Homo-oligomer: A and B are copies of this chain.
Amino acid sequence: MTVERVNAIGPAALQRVLDGRWAAVRDDVRAQMGGIRLHPDPDLGTSEHRDLVADWMRRLAESRRPHTGFDPAYGGEGDVGGVVTAFQMLGYGDLSLLVKAGVQWGLFGGAVQVLGTSRHHDKYLKQIMDGDLPGCFAMTETGHGSDVQNLGTTATYDPATEEFEIHTPDAAARKDYIGNAARDGRMAVVFAQLITGGASHGVHALLVPIRSEEGSALPGVTISDCGRKAGLNGVDNGRLIFDRVRVPREALLNRYAEVAPDGTYTSPIENETRRFFTMLGTLVRGRISVAGGAGSATQKALAIAIRYGETRRQFSDPATGEEVVVLDYLAHQRKLLPALATTYALHFAQEELVSAMHAVQAFGAEPDEAAQRTLETKAAGIKAVGTWHATATIQACREACGGAGYLAENLLPQLKADTDVFTTFEGDNTVLLQLVAKGLLSEYGARVKKLGPLGMARFVGEQVAGSVVERTGAPAMIGQVRHRDLLDRGYHRALLVDREDHLLAALARRLRKALTPGADQFGIFNAAQDHLLRAARAHVDRIVFDAFAAAVERTGDAAVKRLLDQVCHLYALSVIESERAWFVEHGRFTAARSRAVTTAVNELCAALRPHARALVDGFGIPEDWLACPLLGTDMLVRG
């Protein structure tokens, strides 16, 4: 293994690759918003901060950018991928604006678009796109965030008046943390247990007015304010309690279910759970957008920390007496460069995800249930891994900038505070990884079933052989890979796929016990929960790797390709390094090979060090949005 030193690449060439399919949208946003100073005064009170973001929201609506994601039949452009790309670009600027825009046009507008039908579209879509009807997405309750299927709010149909009665039966059913609710929202998409004729049909969404045009809560609706949060204080999160609030029958967003005037319930999807997950699945865009926003915030933090790391000097080189630039220290490279490589990998995975969503959600496209399921699993996984990566990386960037990184004027505190909630909203990351694992398990079950008796026998044989290797440490499997170069992409993939497959197969074996009658299902599941989460994680690591590898392959510019090649190596090897205990425990690595991985990561850090600046500049973050005293560029925003 020799890490080649590659030639310097300008950021523009990298940006061409990174900008990808929606490059034009990215350039438009840069041109349109890049000049607006999106850094609120850090000493702004909550109320003033909300005013400021509300003002930016108006400017965003006027730009007609949010329109682009809606149905062309209603004045949109149907460019779902484009609008999500534009949305995530706001993560380079201000995350309160990103989230508030996401609530209005993504969650609220998106739910009306995908769960409603023409009767809602005709009436509301234009107002929503124009920002004239500020809305909320009222799903989460105080008692239920992750387990949405068990929400407590009810929507009981009354055939006498042809109305639904929306009601909060107890304190746990209070709608909580609802963006846009505390101050601005006038209508809410409310998720509630739909009851008609005494029977419950599970969770459905209804449009419920909550506030008058003058801004006061409507009768029966109690609105309170969640108050100050760790971050995102430009967003007015609030709580909603409904006291037998009546809405017309047509308030039901009825794409997947209808209640006739007499109360008869019908749905094209008979199974209640399947119906629930179909409705929920259409809302995948929110999760994808959060992953994208987290990615932008991470890129911005790295841009700041790496530029600073190239100028900040500390302690002298005894040979020259000159102070050493901190990014020349291995420990500093270790803090930032593997994180940068992972950020690249996630960037390309995110673009693939947006493209897949664009295809699945295209207006007029035939519904493709399999593609939808794959999209949901990918979105859940990339959101979880990407937002955890954001939290860890922005933290590392803060620390890498020392005391300066703690000052609000240097932007990192706001990035940290704002992105923190990303790991638990739009799906708690741990719960999302469980979703991923469940998706993988059912796919695996289907695959195993298809093998037939003969294939099954061979399959089981392979599994047993694998575990013999593990138990004896026999070098059979190790032999296959021992002599492969540590900088071989195919080898990286083989390792990641092997880990993914093995973890999943072993998980399936462990959980099979739960199928025995009388088994302690919860106990069996719970004892394997860490295994399950590891399996999900291994899957996400592999798909992110594949996305990065594909991006490297399709890069035309040979010099850029050589550089990205090494960044991709660093990503793969840093994942493998952090999981190397597994590879040794399972007979995939000798001890010596395991140690060689650490050496390789160090060497790749050294090789990529000269390219660090170009790699962050390649993100194409508007300079005005990076400007801060720590980079000596605060004049840009203050002048």
- Decide yes or no: A145 and B585 within 8 Å by CB, A425-B403, A522-B319, A530-B330 being known contacts: no
**Inter-chain contacts of A226 with B (CB < 8 A):** 407
Stretch at the interface among A14-22, A546-554, A588-596: A588-596
Q: Which of B395, B527, B591 touches A473 (beta carbons < 8 Å)?
A: B591
Q: For residue A509, give the distance in angstroms from its CB to the closest CB of chain B.
A: 15
Is there contact, CB below 8 Å, between A408 and B318? Answer: no
Contact A334 to B530, CB < 8 A, known contacts A228-B43, A318-B521, A407-B229: yes
Complexed CA–CA distance, A424 and B398 (Å): 9
B331, A530: Cβ atoms closer than 8 Å: yes
Q: CA separation between A383 and B323, bound complex, in Å? A: 26
Contact of A147 among B315, B330, B470 (CB under 8 A): B315
Of A191-199, A258-266, A409-417, the one touching chain B: A409-417
Which of B150, B332, B409, B428 is the one whose CB lies under 8 Å from A227? Answer: B409
Q: Kindly identify which residue among B45, B424, B530 contacts A43, using a CB–CB cutoff of 8 Å.
A: B45
Contact indicator B314/A527 (Cβ below 8 Å) = no
Are A146 and B314 neighbours in the complex by a CB distance under 8 Å? yes
- Distance (Å) between the CB of A155 and the closest chain B CB? 22
CB distance from A611 to the nearest CB of B (A): 18
Could you tell me the distance between the alpha carbons of A391 and B145 in the complex, rounded to whole angstroms? 25
Assuming A146-B314, A147-B314, A526-B328, is B399 touching A424 (CB within 8 A)? Answer: yes
Please measure, in the bound complex, the distance between the C-alpha atom of A146 and the C-alpha atom of B312, giving whole angstroms.
12
Tell me which residues across on chain B come within 8 A of A147, comparing CB atoms: 314-316, 323
Residue A529 is within 8 A (CB to CB) of chain B in the complex: yes
Task: Please measure, in the bound complex, the distance between the C-alpha atom of A421 and the C-alpha atom of B401, giving whole angstroms.
Answer: 11
A413–B403 CA distance with the chains assembled, in angstroms: 19
A residues 108-158 with Cβ under 8 Å of B?
A: 140, 143-147, 150
Copies in the complex: 2
With contact pairs A529-B329, A530-B331, A530-B334 given, residues A318 and B522 touching in the complex (Cβ less than 8 Å): yes
Inter-chain contact B580/A591, CB cutoff 8 Å: no
Asked if A230 and B416 make an inter-chain contact with CB atoms under 8 angstroms apart, the answer reads yes
- List the B side residues contacting A522 at CB < 8 Å: 317-319, 324
The interface residues of chain B lying within 8 Å CB-to-CB of A521 are: 317-319
Contact present for A45 and B42 (CB under 8 Å): no
In the complex, A571 has a CB within 8 A of chain B: no
Chain A interface category by residue count: 35 or more
Q: Which of B46, B313, B581 contacts A580 (CB 8 A)?
A: B581
Which residues of chain B are within 8 angstroms of A530 by Cβ–Cβ distance? 330-331, 334, 598, 602
Instruction: Give Cα A241 to B144, complex, Å.
Output: 55
A491 sits at the interface (CB 8 A): no
Contact with B along A550-591 (1 / 0, CB 8 A): 000000000000000000000000000000110011110011
Question: A146-B314, A228-B42, A428-B402 given as contacts; is B594 within 8 A of A529 (CB)?
Answer: no
Given A391-B395, A521-B318, verify A417-B230 contact (CB < 8 Å): yes
Beta-carbon contact of A527 and B230 below 8 Å: no
Contact status A398-B420, CB under 8 Å = yes
> What is the CA–CA distance of A581 and B317 in the complex, to the nearest angstrom?
33
A471 within 8 A of B: yes
Q: Which residue of B lies closest to A594 (CB)?
A: B585
A34 within 8 A of partner (CB): no
> Across the interface, do A526 and B330 meet the contact criterion of CB distance under 8 Å?
yes
Query: A213 on the interface (CB 8 Å rule)?
Result: no
Q: In the assembled complex, which residues on chain B have CB atoms less than 8 Å from the CB atom of A409?
A: 227-228
- Inter-chain contact B406/A420, CB cutoff 8 Å: yes
Across-interface contacts of A430 in B (CB, < 8 A): 331-332
Contact A402 B417 (CB under 8 A): no
Minimal Cβ-Cβ distance residue in B for A580: B581
A406-B421 contact given A530-B334, A592-B471, CB 8 Å threshold: yes
Known: A43-B46, A395-B420, A581-B581. 8 other contacts (CB 8 A): A45-B45, A145-B403, A177-B406, A229-B408, A330-B527, A399-B424, A405-B424, A471-B592
User: Contact residues of A with B, CB < 8 Å?
Assistant: 42-43, 45-46, 140, 143-147, 150, 176-177, 226-231, 313-319, 323-324, 328-332, 334, 391, 395, 398-399, 402-403, 405-409, 412-413, 416-417, 420-421, 423-425, 428-430, 470-471, 473, 520-522, 526-527, 529-530, 533, 580-581, 584-587, 590-592, 594-595, 598, 602
17 A-B residue pairs with CB within 8 Å: A43-B45, A145-B403, A150-B316, A177-B407, A318-B522, A331-B533, A395-B395, A395-B420, A399-B424, A403-B421, A406-B420, A406-B421, A470-B591, A580-B585, A585-B592, A586-B591, A587-B591
